[in-house]
Structure 1
């Protein structure tokens, strides 16, 4: 419903019709539709976190872990590509904002741990691991936001290559 109508235009009654429950049941579990939004964001963020945690715990080298961690954050296999497209529409600004906030909060420590591991092993040279990850996450979220940039396939591939180039340079990796 939030995707189709946008958060502001979705009412609790709309949610009740789709889910097929009574209003009292809804309010037993949620105080407001804002709490439903928080639950939607929390579910998607939990999926991302579980995927990245699996990568962090792997025995791969830090460079591979970092690439795999970013790749694992693509959740279109679960939610489909339309979720991301719809999230970037102006009517879903609150959903988008809350998602970005949750991703930054949950992914920063995990990705920072990978960089710190690489620094400890002498593979990376990065004096500010946490801050670098915060900058990278915000940049990626903005640059690949279809609501801001309309990229064709070639431009998207070049942007991914530039992202990897920038990230590796900031970590002191030449190739």
Structure 2
């Protein structure tokens, strides 16, 4: 048990140092030697935990993903809310700025950190789509909505919404942001074959 704890502590120490360096220097400019100096470890120690700098990025992104997945799974198990509310709450669970280093999240948007951003998008879509499918299937079972391609529609919706609402990719004014949000909600309504504006009020309540 003690060995496992020490392993996890040292691994997190390396990840924390890497996050700090990626924030300050950018992913591309940061080297493994920079991480070694920041943590105060030998190269052999680093390679005991990680095979490459890219593997460090994967681990950092996984920490973000775990925050989102943990929150979403709690919502999924909540039997006190209906499928519509559950769906909205799961989408809102992806807002992780309060739980993780906001500087790192902002840094993902820099051109030199495109890989970090791409990996984050990939991991979130891959992890969250199956969770959303369970909500969709619950709604289908309760005859709240219908959906012909639950997994594929959720993958499309996640990829579109995470990209189009990302201020680091698209610089939109407030009016344009609201129009994109309205279009995304309309798209979701069509995917689930529910009446127009069924989700808008619920979305706005959750955004507050």
TM over 0.5: yes
Q: Which residue is equivalent to 1:131?
A: 152
Structure 1 pair 157/81, CA: closer, same or farther in 2 (3 Å)?
A: farther
In the alignment of these two chains, the number of paired residues is 175
How do residues 37-116 of structure 1 correspond to structure 2 at under 5 angstroms?
A: 37-59=57-79, 60-116=81-137
Equivalent position to 2:46, from 12, 26, 42:
26
Query: 1: CA distance between counterparts of 2:39 and 2:183?
Result: 44
Contact 1:41-1:102 at 8 Å conserved across structures = yes
Contact 1:3-1:92 at 8 Å conserved across structures = no
TM-score for the superposition, normalised by structure 2: 0.77
Report deviation, 1:80.
Answer: 4.3
**3-state SS of paired residue (1:51):** helix
Equivalent position to 2:169, from 135, 138, 148:
148
Structure 1: which 4+ aligned runs deviate by more than 6 Å?
none
Root-mean-square deviation (CA), in Å? 1.7
Query: Which stretch of structure 1 is more off in the superposition, 164-173 or 100-109?
Result: 164-173
Report deviation, 1:164.
Answer: 2.0
Offset from partner CA, 1:58-108 (integer Å, 9 cap, x none): 111111111100101111001244333321221011111111111121111
Contact 1:52-1:69 at 8 Å conserved across structures = yes
TM-score for the superposition, normalised by structure 1: 0.91
Structure 2 residue ranges without an equivalent (≥5): 1-20, 199-208
Greater Rg, structure 1 or structure 2? 2
Query: Does 2:26 correspond to 1:6?
Result: yes
Query: 2: CA distance between counterparts of 1:76 and 1:153?
Result: 19
**3-state SS of paired residue (1:78):** coil
Q: Which residue is equivalent to 2:205?
A: none
**3-state SS of paired residue (2:98):** helix
